[in-house]
Every structure is written in C-alpha cells, then in structure tokens.
Structure 1
Amino acid sequence: MKQIIQDLKKGDTILEEVPVPLVKKGHVLIKTSKSLVSLGTEKMLVEFGKANFIQKAKQQPDKVKMVLDKVKTDGLKPTIDAVFNKLGQPLPLGYCNVGEVVAVGKGVSEFKIGDRVASNGNHAEYVLVPKNLVAKIPDNVSDEEAAFTVIGAIGLQGIRLLNPTFGETIVVVGLGLIGLVTAELLKANGCNVIGFDFDPEKIKIAKSKGITAINPSEGTDQVKFVETFTNGVGADGVIITASSKSNEIISQSAQMCRKLGRIVLVGVIGLDISRADFYNKEISFQVSCSYGPGRYDEEYEQKGNDYPIGYVRWTEKRNFEAVLNAISVGSLDVNPLITERVPLKEFETIYGDMSSSKSIASILEYNSTEEPKNTVTLNEKEFGGNKGIIGIVGAGNFTSATILPSLKKLNADIKYIASSGGLSSTTMAKQYGITNSTTNYKEILTDNEADLVFITTKHNMHASMVLETLRADKSVFVEKPLALNRDELNEIIEEYNSRNVSISVGFNRRFAPLAKQMKKVLGKDNTPMNIVATMNAGFIPSDVWVHDMEIGGGRIIGEACHYIDLCTYLAGSKVKSVCMNSMGVNPEENTDNASILLKYENGTNAVINYFANGSKAYSKERVEVYSQERTLVMDNWRKLRGFGFKKFSKCSSKQDKGHYNQFNELISSQKSGGESIIPFEEIVNTTKASFAAIESLKEGRWIEVK
C-alpha cells in the first residue's frame, strides 16, 4: 500500500510503499476512500522537516538541552548517532481518515466488515486504528463530509472546555479550517460569534455562515470592535484557533474579554502572558488537548477501556459521533470548506508548496485496486542456504539505534524486518538493505532460510514469540526480559529442552570491552567478591508502558535484569537468594527506585542500586568490585580504574555496552552450530532472580531462587 510520510532529516514529503498492517486485538483495519489534509498541523511538520539542523534546534530548545546533557555523560559520537537516528525516523502524515472496515480484531463488537467509518488514521491506503478512535458514519453523510470528523472534534473539544451558553458572545481568533468549523458549531449552539482572520476568502466563507467576520488588515481594531459589538461588556469567551509565534494574540484575547471571561487555546501561539491583562478581570485560560477526554490515555485508546458516560459524557469518540451527527442533521455544513480534491498519487499538488497555499480543506482521494500485501520486497537477494540468516521482529528505537548499526558492521544477512504498522520496518529495510519488510512476523517463522530470529517487541510479547520461534525450530535472540512471570518461563524451559536450537537474551553488558577486562584482571579462581552496581536509570513517567506490570513488567524485571546478569558474569556463579527494598514508606509491587541484594552460590555478595531519581548529568552506570584487597571501578562504560592490581591500573574505551560483541558472537555461534553465547541455565537464573526481587518487595523477606 501507499502512505504519505515526512522525512525529518532531508525534508522530503514522500509517497512510500509499505506493507498493509495486520488487524490486531481491539483494532479495526480500514481501507481508505478519502482523507483530509489539515494544512495548519501538517504544514508545521513539513516545514520542520525542511528546516536545517540549526533551525530545528531553535524550534526545540528543550531538546537541545537534553542533547547537551547526553554529550556530557555519554560522549559526542553516541549523542550524534542518537540524534541522527531520531531524525531518520519519518513521520506519517494525516489524522482525518474515512474508509470501509475490511477486518475486525478480537474484542471489537461495535463494528463489522463493510461499515463506513471515520477515524484519526493517517494518509494511507489502509489504516489500523483502535476502536475508540473510530466512529460509524450516518448513511446521509458522504465520505467527503465525514473526512471533517476529527477536525470538527478538535474544535468541539475547545468549545466544551469554554462551556458557552445560549446567547453568549464568543470570539474565534483564526478562521482556518478548525476556526471555521468551531465558529459554525458555536453558531449552532446559540452563540453570537465574532471571527477574526487576515484571509479575505475565509472571511467570505464565515460571513456566508452567519458569522460576524472581520479582517483586521482592513483597519479594524479587534479589541474596540468587540467592545462596541457587546455594548462595552466584552466577549464572554475567546477560542484561539490561530497559528502564530506572536504573543499579541493572547494579550488581545484577554483585552476582548469581559470580567471573568474565559479563553481556550486550540491553536499554537506565543504564550508570554502579561499578568496585568488577566489580573484585573480574573480571566481564566485553558489549553485544549486534541479531540477530547481519552486522548493519549493508553487505557482508553490502546486497551479500549471506555470512560463511563455518566462520569465522562464526551470522550474523543463521542465527540467524533457528535460532529458526524451535526453534519447529518445539517447544523454543520462542511462542503463550502473544500478547496480541492486531489488523487493520492498527485499528493505533491498539496505538499509541494504549503507555505503559499491558500487552500482551506484539501481532500485526498483513494482508488487502489491492488490486493493488500503484508510483505514488501525491497531488493532481491540470494542467501545460498547459508546459516545465520536473520529475521527481526520489532522495528522500534532500540532496533534502529542499536541493533541494526551493529549488524551492519558485521555484514549480517537480514532477510526480514517486521513491524505492526509497516512504516518503521520499511524505513529501516531501505536504510540497511534488508530484503523484506513485513507486518506479518509469522512469514519469518515459515521461511526455511531464516534460522535466527531477533525479537525486540514490547515485553509482554517476548515469551509467546520465543515459544513460536522455538516451535518453528529456529534459534532466537530476545531483547530482555525473556519472560514476565514463572509460568511463561517454565513453558519456555520445557520447549527449549525439547529442541536443538539456541536461546540468547539481550544481556549485552557482559560482552562490553570493559566488562571483559574486569573479568580478566579479577582472574578465574572463583573467589567470593563484593559488587556494587549502580544504574542511574532516569525518570520515566508512570503512564509509560514499561511501568505496566502486564505489558512492560516494570523496570526491575524489564531493565535491572541487565545488571543481575552482569554481576553473575563477574562473580562466576549463580544467584542463590534475593532481597529488595524500595524507596518510600509503602513498598509496592512495582518500583524503579530500589536496592537489590544478591547472595551467590560461591559466597559473592552483590548490591544493585537501580534509581530513577538521580540527575541525568551524572553517569548513568557505575560498577565497583572489591576482591582480595583489590578494587575495580567502572564508570559509564568509558573508564575503568584498578587499585591494588600488580599489572593493571586503568584503561578507557569509547562508550561501548557490548552490543556489537554480543551480536558478533551470536552470529558466529549460529553459523558454526556452537552453544548459546550465555549459558541457558544462567539466563534462567537471572530471570528467576528478577522475579524473586519483586516477590521480596511484596513479602518483605529474602527469597530463595529455585
């Protein structure tokens, strides 16, 4: 299928060929008939993509500070690599989609195949959308009209926050697409509406809808006009739908308001607010978030858990439905807003020069007759029956920033890369010369040539995919963790023991050059030692998926397992028992501020401090080892110092956490038929130890690792 994307590095807007997504639980797959180009939002994205690096930096000063902090801790090259990797990930454009449902996922009962629906899907021939971001289209509403659903919901949410009553005077600043829809909905709500814009054509359309529309460039003072119009009272409220860097808009909006007036910001403007403008009248100000309640809430959007209507009357989905109803009954007429209709293949007509475009609403038309394909072949390549042919499942940031650059240096043979949406996998396939991009990872499992599968999906998918891979008689590398609970782990152990393939987990720290140097200078006598390992992991908001115990497993199981394995490698022994204590008065099942105590079979004692409340300016990782009146101190995988060693005092390295070495050993082992690069019993022991840490936190005692 074809999809419009924005290349943030080069600035190009591209019609890309990508595989069609597979329908999944809680989602519907839609074949697109029309989509609406939101010129305001998309113009900002396109212009950001075309800007040079200095201009991009000026637009995002907060990101510049993050980059500078990363340079201090990680060094220049890793930071530059991370920035370019981020810019190398294109953005899908569009969020106003209309089409026909062609597949329905599990747990979806409100839609069936053949339904006409509106959604926030991208500009693509097929879109996969969560059910709470989809609404049925009334029979008397055309696909073109329904394409305004999401835009209408953005305006409607601003209105709901303003809470206007019948007869109030409301000002709409900016009569672009959202502004015109907002003004008309306010009119339907029984409000007196004043609109301001500098475009004569938009003023003309607004007037035709009964809106008092003014062009300030003709000499009208906006504040004085509102004062006169309201007999000196001032506007009851202002909705700002304009896009401008100027601070003048917010100041004028406050001056237009009556005492205790309300201002809601839907657009993007300068927000250097003058206290005096707001103080005397006690004006309230609020920023509207997209389509309504539920936006960016993982539980609502991705898991499909609706808010009870008695408590949240207007969710984003119910706002979609309200807009469609307004179009159906004639209280919202969007047809006059359509400026042009453009076939998808002629998309450059719209995107070629958006800066000078006078279009209000551009409709993209789709008429694809091709059969949907879940796999796109980007280049023909013969693998000649070689071993170590790789298929990658998961095309997220870790794959693009870490795995693929390492595999490229190794000249690894990669036949497939899979992602749920198809865009990220296609982008990476083109960049790294991978043969196929797919949305159906099962194609990798049924291909006899692919014998090594990398799994880099969300944590809750690891165990089931590992099992599927083992049952397909393929070796597997899975990014940590291997499993999220004992039942999953036991099933993997049973399956592994019945197969002649290998399992590797992404415990890369033991393969780092400085970790190998530490192991070397400590010697092979297996003497007990004390290890203190600190991970200054950094804060992650509580609503991010890694904290969800069902999806991410929490940061101890999902991330601290790295250091359990590292301590195991240095100790040369397996964990015997675990005790974990967390910061705070009431220990919970999940934490990312904790100290983990490990007792090893050979008498080694290890403490892992996993903290999320430290400064990002400080080193992210630090390891200290105390053994036989000797001490090793490793700082952030860049420096290693030894004290008390006869033939070692210090060494340094570029920041290297062992990924390249790990993949090198993995591929070599796969080609030669060697053993797993980490003994399977150590992988199991580390996984069980991470489970024991959580159990210890819950029960407040030492837990034996069995």
Structure 2
Amino acid sequence: MRQVLLDLQSGSIEVEDVPVPAVTKGVVVENAYSLISAGTESSLINLAGQSLVGKARSRPDDVKKVLQKIGTDGPLPAYRQAMSRLTKPEPLGYSCAGTVVRTGTDDFEVGDRVACAGAGYAVHAEYVAVPKNLCVRVPDGVSFREAAFTTVGSIAMHGIRNARVTVGENVAVIGLGLIGLLTVQILKAAGCRVIGIDIDREKLALAARLGADAISNYDGLTERMKVFSPFGADAVVITAATPSSAPVETAGRLVRDKGRVVVVGNVGMNVPRDVFYEKEAEVVVSRSYGPGRYDRNYEERGIDYPIYVRWTERRNMEAFLDLVQQKKIDLDHLITHTFPLDSAPEAYNLISTGKERYIGVLLQYSPNGAGAAGTVTRLAEPEARRREAPAGARTIGCIGAGVHAQSALYPNLPGLPVNLGGVATATGLSAHSVAKKYGFAYCTTDYRTILDDPGIDAVLIATRNDLHAPMAIDALRAGKDVFVEKPLATEIDGLRGVVRAYNESGKRLMVGFNRRFSPLARRMKEFFGNRATPMVLHYRVNAGQIPPGHWVHDDEQGGGMLISECCHFIDFMQYMTGARPVQVYARAIEPTGNLRKYDNFQATLAFDDGSLGTVTYTTLGDRSYSKETVEVFCDNAVGRITDFRDLELRRGGKVSRERRWLAQEKGFAEELLAFVKGEEADFAGSVATTLATFQAWESIDTGAPKEIDLGRVGL
C-alpha cells in the first residue's frame, strides 16, 4: 500500500510502498479520504526541516535525556539512539474515513463506513489499523469527504464542552482557521450567539456566511464587543495558532466577570494576572478531543468509560457526525483543496509556502486502492552497505522493531555472519523503515510470514513483553532456533508453554540476557575463577522514574519492572556464580502517589552453591548518578562493575581498573554473535531466572520467602 511519510532528518515528504498493517483490537480500514491538519502537521514538518541544533533548541527535554544517557551509557549509545529516532520515518495524519476491510472486534463489521481518529493510527495511507474506540460509524447521508473532518471536529467539540456554554450565551471565537470555523458552527447549533475574531478578512467573511452573529478584526474590537455583549463574553474559545500571547491577553479583555476562557489552539500562555484576577475568570487548556485521549486502556485496549463520563473522544466524534448529518455543519465551504494521495508532497508544499489560500485540505484515495493490499513488501534493492554473508551462513528473520531493538540490537546486524531474510512489525511503516535501513529482503506485518518462510532458520523476537512467550512457542514449533528478548515470559503458564515447546522441538532458544556476554563481566568471572568460597553479590539499579502510562507497567503487556528488568540482574548472578537460585525473599515499598508497588524493591536470593545475592531496584534516585553497579565479594577479593563502563578488581591490596570512554559494553553484539554461531544457550538458567522473578513477586505479596523449583514448569 501507499503511505505518506516524513523524513525527520531532512523534512521532506515522500509517498512509499509499505505493508498493510495488521489488525489487533480494532479494524483495518481502506481509506477514502484523509484530512491534513495544517497546524499540527506543519509544526512537525518545520521541526524536521531544522538543523540538529535547531531540533535541539526546540526539544530541550529530549536534549536533557540525551545528556543523561551520555553520562551513564557513553556518547556512542546516546548518539545511536538519538539518530535511530531521526532516521525512522514519521507517519503523518490523524483524521480519515473509509470502509472496514478487516475486523478484530464485535463493534464493527466488514463493509462498515467509518471515521477514524488518532495520530499513528488514522494516518495518510491507503489502509490504516485503528483501535475500536477511535472509530465511529458514518451515518447515512454523510459522505466520506465530510467524515474525514471528524477528528478535527471533535477537537472543536471538546473545546466547547470545556467552555460549559448554555443556550443563549454569548461566545467569542479567536482564530478562524479550520477548527475556529467548525467551533463557530457547533456553537450556533448549541443555541449560542457567536462573534468571530481574526485578522484575515476572507476568514471573517466566511465565518459570517457560516452563521457568526458578528465578526471583527482587532481594530475596533472593544467597541464591537460592547455592541455584541455589553457585559462581555460568557466564554471565549481560542482556536488561533501563534507563539504570541496576544490571543490570551485579548480573551482576558473580552470575557465577562467570572467568565470562561478555553485555549484550544497552540498559543503563548503568558496570562496577564491582573486582568484575569479582577474578573476572576477561569482559564482551561482543552486537551485534544475528549476523555480517553492519552489513556492506553481506552485507546489501545478498547476499555470504554462508563456513561457518566458523558463525552469521551469517541462520543464527541459521533456527536460531530450527527450535526453533519443534520446539516447543522457546512463542510463544503471549508474544503478548499483535494489532492490524490501520490500528490501529497504538493499538498504540503501548498501549506508550507502559503501560495494559495487554504482551509480544509483533503487527500483522496483510489476507490480500490492504488497500491498492493498485501502484508508483505519486498525490497528491490537492499541497502548497498549490506555486506555479503559467508557461504552457508544462516538466514535470520526478526520480529519487532521498538526503540530497544533499533538502538541496541539491530545496529549489530550488519556485522553478523548472517543473511537477513524478513522483518515483521505490527505497523507497515516500522517494518519498511527497518528493512530498508539494514537490508532485509522483505518486510511484513504478519509475523507468521517469518515463521512460514522455509529459507529462515533462526528468529529474533524483540516485541512487547507479553508477546515473547507465545511468539517463541510458535517459532520453536515452526522449527526455528529462537533468540527472544527478556523477559522470557510474563506469567507462569506462558513459561510452562515455552518449556514444553522447547522440549518437543529440539531447537535452541536463547534469552536476551546480554550482560553475561559483556567483556567486563567475563573479565570479572575470570578474576574469581577457581574460587574457594561462595559469593556475596549486590546488584544496585538506580532506574529513574518511568512514566506511569508506559506500556511496561501494564500487567498484560509489560509485567512491571520486577518481571521485565529484575531478570537481567538475577541472570547475571547465575552467570557469575555458576549456580542456580533456589530461594528468594523480596520486599517492596508500598505504592503511594506515583510509586508503583513493584518498582522499588529488594530481592535476596540464595543459590545452590551457598552464594547470596541481593538486587536493589529503585526509581527514587537522581538520574545523574550511576544507573547500574554490581559488587561481588569472594575469597578476600572484590569486583565491581559500574554502568558496564568501569571495572574495578581488588585483591591483596592491589587494584586493577578498566574504563570504557565511548560506550558501555553490555554484551549486545556478543550475545547475537553467540546465537548466530550456534553456541548452546543456558536455557535452564533462563527458565530459573524467569521463575525467580515470579517467585519474588509472590514473596512481596505474601511477605514470605519462596522456593524456586524448576519442576513447577516442567524442567
């Protein structure tokens, strides 16, 4: 299929062939029209067109994160991660309409006419995969070209709801672009009197044509406002887009005592306190298109709010379409340009240059789809830098292309003695960009294509945590050797399934416990070779806060930090001791505020050789401090690794130190090389590690130590 992509490095717009996305908890829609949001999309394009310095100045928070990463990981990993984000094309668009061609929910059937919303979902592409709560049916009598405005219309709708207007109230709308003109019409449909304010005469005239009771530029505005409403506006809705705070200042002068100012557009927010204080006016910044926005449970998992949360984003979308069906909103006068999909660069050029006046700019799609509708796209010419693999080299297929995969794993692929077969991700864009960058033969949105490919004999799985176990099981049963990122499983039944598939398949499985492959770790293990006593180990992790909404905290998808991260440190202890964990006792800080129960804990493990290890994991520290420090005490000697950049070994008063200046040595390249060369992995150890994290969780819940018995999972 064809999709509009933004190159974040150059700012150029391209239309490329990518695989049709997979359906999950929603629908796949064949687009008829999509709407270009001139303000939102232009700001992203303008950012992409800036130099690296300009991008840094525009995103100071991102720069701070990069500097923190340099401090812990070194400049090379920080650079690679930053560049991996810049080299990944960005999808554009968030409002479209079309026909359901595949469904994964009972809410919709194939053939339904729907309007779709959401950045990253309702994009400019021939086919889009959209969660069910971001889709609504298009009523009879409403065309696809009208329905393509639904997302933007719901933004206007939510802004008006935040203004809490009632029939007969006087409302001022500052900024008469697309959202402003929609706001005027919705307010009129709600029984309000409206004055539209803008500097553009043509937009003022159009607002009057669409029902505004009064219009005004800024010259003489005070006098016109007195005529319109002597006591001031009951509410002011700001839909302008400007870095200036002038709209907010103007709103303060126009609003009545105890009135309401709602900021919908992206404007400067230097609020004049004295003006708003004297009127005791309320200021609200309207967040997108209603409750549910930015809530993963609502948007991704399809969990709706009770009806007492009356106007969710989906219900706002439905309400907007109802007004369109009732002919209370006129969209014909707002559609100024329609471009075919392949002319998208021309459409964006129109917007960026302003060579013609525009309001609503649509992209139109062929009724039957101009591009292929398959889930596989073959790359005609892989990247020239892809070197030839040795004769008889294995062919590897990859599943997943998240931040970790693209910053830590995939950069090592060109240096491996393998052929790169296919790469699969849920979205066609990420699959295509990774395949193009690293030289895969094809990309797909159906991971079973990788498993069914007889030319692929090894699979790398780097998806979200909850998919690791089921995909590893499928890959083993398909007769492939498997490299799967940690954790191996997020619950015990999944772990049992992996063990059963491993025992039945006779294939190899390696878990991405990379730290044991670090050259510094191997140097430390050699230092303690031929030891005479058990070890005492302490692994301290200063993790820093991870946003509460991040998917890793989701019990279904991520398993929490104890399951998804602690496994690394337990595996490291197994490697260092050469022993199996047999018991774990763990305690955690009780949740309070933003602190989650399993994010700040200590787990003490007993090993079958008498060694003891403690993992201290906390999100309460300062990120500028070292992230990982592991200390090993044994045979009157001490070893310490800090952030896998510093190694210190002490024995008999003598100190040996090693320092890596440019980058951490976490063992990513070494583990992948071991996998493709066919080295036997410690599968039983990986299972023991995973089971230990489950038992640590149970220990926290019960307050008692827990035994780690591999017999529970079939080993």
- Of 241, 248, 251, 2:249 maps to 251
- Determine the structure 2 residue equivalent to 1:183: 184
- Determine the structure 2 residue equivalent to 1:681: 684
Q: Tell me whether 68-77 or 562-571 shows the greater mean CA deviation.
A: 68-77
Q: Distance in 1 between matches of 2:245 and 2:257?
A: 21
Instruction: Classify 1:41/1:390 alpha carbon distance in 2 versus 1 (closer, same or farther; 3 Å).
Output: same
Partner SS state of residue 422, structure 2: strand
- Determine the structure 1 residue equivalent to 2:385: none
Give the C-alpha shift of residue 426 in structure 1.
0.5
Superposed, which structure 2 residues align to 1:188-267 within 5 Å?
188-212=189-213, 214=215, 216=217, 220-231=219-230, 233-267=231-265
- Determine the structure 2 residue equivalent to 1:630: 637
1:416 aligns with 2:419: no
User: Which letter maps to 1:38?
Assistant: S
1:395 aligns with 2:393: no
Give the C-alpha shift of residue 58 in structure 1.
1.9
Give the C-alpha shift of residue 10 in structure 1.
1.7
Partner SS state of residue 257, structure 2: strand
Give the C-alpha shift of residue 436 in structure 1.
0.7
- Report the aligned-residue RMSD: 1.9
1:34 aligns with 2:41: no
Give the C-alpha shift of residue 127 in structure 1.
0.5
Q: Tell me whether 192-201 or 565-574 shows the greater mean CA deviation.
A: 192-201
1:577 aligns with 2:578: no
- Determine the structure 1 residue equivalent to 2:353: 356
**Is 1:599–1:606's contact at 8 Å kept on the other side of the alignment?**
yes
- Determine the structure 1 residue equivalent to 2:58: 59
- Of 429, 434, 439, 2:435 maps to 429
Q: Distance in 1 between matches of 2:263 and 2:530?
A: 66
Q: Distance in 2 between matches of 1:250 and 1:586?
A: 37
**Is 1:528–1:604's contact at 8 Å kept on the other side of the alignment?**
yes
Superposed, which structure 2 residues align to 1:456-467 within 5 Å?
456-467=462-473
Partner SS state of residue 400, structure 1: helix
Instruction: Classify 1:562/1:96 alpha carbon distance in 2 versus 1 (closer, same or farther; 3 Å).
Output: same
Partner SS state of residue 303, structure 2: coil
C-alpha offsets along residues 509-549 of structure 1, whole Å, 9 cap, x if unaligned?
Answer: 11111111111111133631111111111111222221122
C-alpha offsets along residues 231-276 of structure 1, whole Å, 9 cap, x if unaligned?
Answer: 2x11111111111111222122112111111111111011122321
Q: Distance in 2 between matches of 1:213 and 1:344?
A: 38
Partner SS state of residue 336, structure 1: coil
Partner SS state of residue 145, structure 1: helix
Q: Distance in 1 between matches of 2:530 and 2:96?
A: 63
Q: Tell me whether 585-594 or 683-692 shows the greater mean CA deviation.
A: 585-594
User: Which letter maps to 2:615?
Assistant: I
Partner SS state of residue 495, structure 2: helix
Instruction: Classify 1:176/1:211 alpha carbon distance in 2 versus 1 (closer, same or farther; 3 Å).
Output: same
Q: Distance in 2 between matches of 1:645 and 1:329?
A: 87
- Determine the structure 1 residue equivalent to 2:707: 704
- Determine the structure 1 residue equivalent to 2:136: 135
- Determine the structure 1 residue equivalent to 2:124: 123
Q: Distance in 1 between matches of 2:579 and 2:222?
A: 76
- Determine the structure 2 residue equivalent to 1:275: 273
- Of 661, 664, 667, 2:670 maps to 661
Identity over the aligned pairs, expressed in percent? 40
Partner SS state of residue 547, structure 2: coil
User: Which letter maps to 2:19?
Assistant: P
- Normalising by structure 2, report the TM-score: 0.94
- Please, which runs of 5 or more residues in structure 2 have no aligned partner? 383-387, 710-715
Instruction: Classify 1:65/1:223 alpha carbon distance in 2 versus 1 (closer, same or farther; 3 Å).
Output: farther
Q: Distance in 2 between matches of 1:526 and 1:171?
A: 82
C-alpha offsets along residues 558-601 of structure 1, whole Å, 9 cap, x if unaligned?
Answer: 11100000011111111010011112389999511001101111
Instruction: Classify 1:213/1:348 alpha carbon distance in 2 versus 1 (closer, same or farther; 3 Å).
Output: farther
- Of 281, 285, 288, 1:287 maps to 285
1:454 aligns with 2:460: yes
Give the C-alpha shift of residue 210 in structure 1.
2.3
Q: Distance in 1 between matches of 2:237 and 2:499?
A: 60
Instruction: Classify 1:585/1:66 alpha carbon distance in 2 versus 1 (closer, same or farther; 3 Å).
Output: closer
1:315 aligns with 2:308: no
Partner SS state of residue 562, structure 1: helix
Give the C-alpha shift of residue 48 in structure 1.
1.1
Q: Distance in 2 between matches of 1:398 and 1:213?
A: 55
Give the C-alpha shift of residue 647 in structure 1.
7.2
- Of 291, 294, 299, 1:301 maps to 299
**Is 2:2–2:371's contact at 8 Å kept on the other side of the alignment?**
no
Q: Tell me whether 66-75 or 125-134 shows the greater mean CA deviation.
A: 66-75
- Normalising by structure 1, report the TM-score: 0.95
Q: Distance in 1 between matches of 2:335 and 2:592?
A: 58
- Determine the structure 1 residue equivalent to 2:68: 69
Give the C-alpha shift of residue 492 in structure 1.
1.4
Q: Distance in 2 between matches of 1:195 and 1:57?
A: 37
C-alpha offsets along residues 284-317 of structure 1, whole Å, 9 cap, x if unaligned?
Answer: 11111111111111111111111121x1111111
Partner SS state of residue 443, structure 2: strand
Q: Distance in 2 between matches of 1:585 and 1:40?
A: 41
**Is 1:521–1:648's contact at 8 Å kept on the other side of the alignment?**
no
Superposed, which structure 2 residues align to 1:521-532 within 5 Å?
521-525=527-531, 527-532=533-538
Give the C-alpha shift of residue 226 in structure 1.
2.2
**Is 1:135–1:321's contact at 8 Å kept on the other side of the alignment?**
yes
Partner SS state of residue 64, structure 1: helix
Partner SS state of residue 647, structure 2: strand
1:445 aligns with 2:451: yes
User: Which letter maps to 1:565?
Assistant: D
**Is 2:163–2:260's contact at 8 Å kept on the other side of the alignment?**
yes
**Is 2:532–2:635's contact at 8 Å kept on the other side of the alignment?**
no
C-alpha offsets along residues 437-486 of structure 1, whole Å, 9 cap, x if unaligned?
Answer: 10011011111111111111111111111110010010101100111122
Q: Distance in 1 between matches of 2:640 and 2:531?
A: 20
Give the C-alpha shift of residue 86 in structure 1.
1.6
Give the C-alpha shift of residue 370 in structure 1.
4.6
User: Which letter maps to 2:182?
Assistant: V
Give the C-alpha shift of residue 494 in structure 1.
1.7
Superposed, which structure 2 residues align to 1:589-600 within 5 Å?
590-600=597-607
Give the C-alpha shift of residue 135 in structure 1.
0.8
Q: Distance in 1 between matches of 2:113 and 2:68?
A: 49
- Determine the structure 1 residue equivalent to 2:693: 690
- Determine the structure 2 residue equivalent to 1:165: 166
C-alpha offsets along residues 366-414 of structure 1, whole Å, 9 cap, x if unaligned?
Answer: 1125551100001368989844211111011111111110112325421
